[in-house]
Structure 1
Amino acid sequence: MSSVAEHFAMLRLAGLPSGESTLRTRTLPISVAAGPILLGMDGLGQRHLLVPVGDAEVVPDRASRGVVTAERGLVLGDAEHRFLDLSCLSSRLDRPFEQLAEDVLRRITESSDDPRSTVSRTLEDWREMLRAAQKGMSRESIVGLTAELELLASLAAVDPLAAIDAWVGPDNAVHDFKRGSRSIEVKATSAVDPSFVHISNVDQLDPAPVAELLLAVFHLRESPSAPNLEERVEALHGLGVPESLLADRLRAVGYTPRMELAFPDRLEVRSFTVFAVGHSFPSVRSTDIRPDARLSVRGLEYDLVLAGLPDEIPEAEVAAALADWMTA
């Protein structure tokens, strides 16, 4: 079966229909009880996924500004048919919408549930990602995601399934990677002359709760020859990282392949340094704050100066250290 993106490309090539409410459609080889599912494009170039519902009620969902559901009637042949219309109202969300539609179709084929419920649940699962995509990824977010994907690739070369399981940063965990009682915190900078990295809370560089804590620092810079985010994702697939698990993590950080980005994402690694964070490593920790004052202090952030940091793992030993982190 052709991908959703390919179907929409064919609809675009066929020309937009006249009138905003008119749809040009393509029938998919996926059906529900009421008939085959359609993809459509209207006179504004907006994308639609049309799930036939027969006489069933359709409850509109306009909670997301850019992607909504509504009831739509279409005349096909000599008869009018009713559909649940999942539509994309923002061109910025065209690429994420294609991924959303793919997910809806996958869930419909894998489940015997009412397709209306499947569409509703899938949209709810994607709502936060769509909100982030509508807003757009910041340059800082692109730099940070690039660094985390770079480290994920290093870990996936050892064990792809364990690597994606260890990537917990998208779930707002304290550290970006966690395996058992071991953690890795990733920091990235694209400054021309980086002298520090930003630490966002007092727990990130506190080694007390874990058996081992590593700090991985990436210095990135723009380069037309560097892989972009989409190419990094494809490389991870090639290493054996499951596509569905990786897609879930990426959605959690507000990224889907082919989405529109406002900042360059072809970034090369100028340097990659790993530190073993022990109890003597310079950092601010919650234990540094008087017990009677901790409840009154919140949102503490600071910058960590990179020059002269102790316990740097020699470059020649980094690969072995990461492999040991994965297998121990």
Structure 2
Amino acid sequence: MKLINENDITLCWNGLQTDEVQQGWQGIPLRKVGTISLYAARKYPENMESFAVGFKYFSAKQIASLPRGAGFKVEEAQLNSEERNWIALSRQKSASLELFTMMATDIFNTLCKQEQASEEAAFTLFISRIKAWQQFMKQGQSKLGKEAELGLVGELTFIRQLIDTGLCAGSLMSTWVGPDHAAQDFHLGIGAVEVKSTLAPVGFAAKIHSLEQLDDSMSGPLFMCGIRFSQSDKGQTLPDIVSDIRSQLEHIENQELDTFDTLLIKSGYHPTGAENYTTKFLPEEFMYWAVNDEFPRLTRAKVPFGVLGTTYTIDVGNIPTSMVLDEVIKALYGN
């Protein structure tokens, strides 16, 4: 099925624009994917850009509550052109039209690729994608900051390291939980791994974001992976690394590729902004530590009663690293 581009949606929105006094929803059909209908729309009298997805068997009643967006509103809609259960997303006046158009195009095209999927699977993916865009929109911009970019490069580089050891790329998508605001970046086997990255040629200052992040009593065996990068023409940009992992996933079920794309959006990255990322990162050193009582850390059990939370920085540059990745995997998976 031919995918939708941003210009397609913009032309439809412009075609629905009118100065006449109207009430209710107006829409233009864009695609039909099995039992699902995709419409560009406007709701009057607000007259804001919207898009609507119509399901035959599923509706908003299947979820506890509609996601609340940062910059967009999600609601049930009434489009009289088809007998469908419609869920619409409308741009808020204060929100970026560019970001909203990007979101509409991404969600539509994600659903366009679900021709062979059940409506239930497509509905679940639709809601998951909306929630991912909620996190993306909270940034207020389409480009990650330098620190966030480096952090994402580190996590993706760790995924590639795991793939290189023989772990299945598809199975790793469910282990990458950092984008969902888990305490650690990866839940692997019976434990977890927190990934930290630096561009500093000497030393290694790692920022810790909570009392739970380095608490192995909550995660099982816990390890930290430290990756030292340099900026080099021999390295790869963030979009390059994303492309490499996507190529590993394209030979597996589409569901894993959809999961990867959703996690990237939650992390603040979307491929339409790839040209914004030009820094080339070259991994120079990988370090692994077991996080235990000998490791410098604050946990809930180690701070005075009444301390609810904190962020702090530790210097791991001088801590001996006595482990390699194979040993970490063996400890987590027992093989």
- The TM-score with structure 2 as length reference comes to 0.67
8 Å CA contact 2:199–2:229 kept in 1: the answer is: yes
Q: CA deviation at 1:310?
A: 2.9
Q: CA deviation at 1:98?
A: 2.2
Residue 291 of structure 2: aligned partner: 277
Change (3 A) 1:312 1:302: farther
Aligned equivalent of 2:17, options 11, 21, 32: 21
- Counterparts in 2 of 1:110-125, with a 5 A limit? 110-112=117-119, 121=127, 124-125=130-131
Q: Runs of 5+ in structure 2 lacking a partner?
A: 19-27, 42-47, 56-65
Change (3 A) 1:219 1:193: same
141-150 or 98-107, larger mean C-alpha shift: 98-107
| 1-structure distance, mates of 2:9, 2:14 | 13
SS at match of 1:198: strand
| 2-structure distance, mates of 1:134, 1:64 | 12
| 2-structure distance, mates of 1:86, 1:207 | 41
State the Cα deviation string for residues 58-88 of structure 1 (Å, max 9, x = none): xxx9964655679799xxxxxx968977566
| 2-structure distance, mates of 1:188, 1:321 | 20
8 Å CA contact 2:193–2:224 kept in 1: the answer is: yes
Identical-pair percentage: 17
Aligned equivalent of 2:138, options 132, 152, 156: 132
SS at match of 1:197: strand
| 2-structure distance, mates of 1:299, 1:326 | 28
- Counterparts in 2 of 1:199-210, with a 5 A limit? 199-209=208-218
Q: CA deviation at 1:101?
A: 1.6
Residue 226 of structure 1: aligned partner: 235
Compute the RMSD of aligned alpha carbons: 4.5
- Counterparts in 2 of 1:82-161, with a 5 A limit? 90-106=97-113, 110-112=117-119, 121=127, 124-132=130-138, 134-136=140-142, 137-157=144-164, 158-160=166-168, 161=170
SS at match of 2:273: coil
Q: Which amino acid aligns with 1:139?
A: K
8 Å CA contact 2:225–2:289 kept in 1: the answer is: yes
- Counterparts in 2 of 1:248-327, with a 5 A limit? 248-259=262-273, 264=278, 266-289=280-303, 293-294=304-305, 296-313=306-323, 318-325=324-331, 327=333
| 2-structure distance, mates of 1:249, 1:51 | 22
State the Cα deviation string for residues 84-131 of structure 1 (Å, max 9, x = none): 775666213444432222234456874558x9x899846743451342
| 2-structure distance, mates of 1:254, 1:221 | 22
8 Å CA contact 2:107–2:126 kept in 1: the answer is: no
Q: How many residues align?
A: 297
- The TM-score with structure 1 as length reference comes to 0.68
| 1-structure distance, mates of 2:318, 2:203 | 13
| 2-structure distance, mates of 1:188, 1:173 | 18
| 1-structure distance, mates of 2:292, 2:70 | 47
Q: Which amino acid aligns with 2:257?
A: E
| 1-structure distance, mates of 2:67, 2:298 | 45
- Counterparts in 2 of 1:186-205, with a 5 A limit? 186-191=195-200, 193-205=202-214
| 2-structure distance, mates of 1:243, 1:119 | 12
8 Å CA contact 2:221–2:332 kept in 1: the answer is: no
Which is higher, the Rg of structure 1 or of structure 2?
A: 1
Q: Runs of 5+ in structure 1 lacking a partner?
A: 41-45, 54-60, 74-79
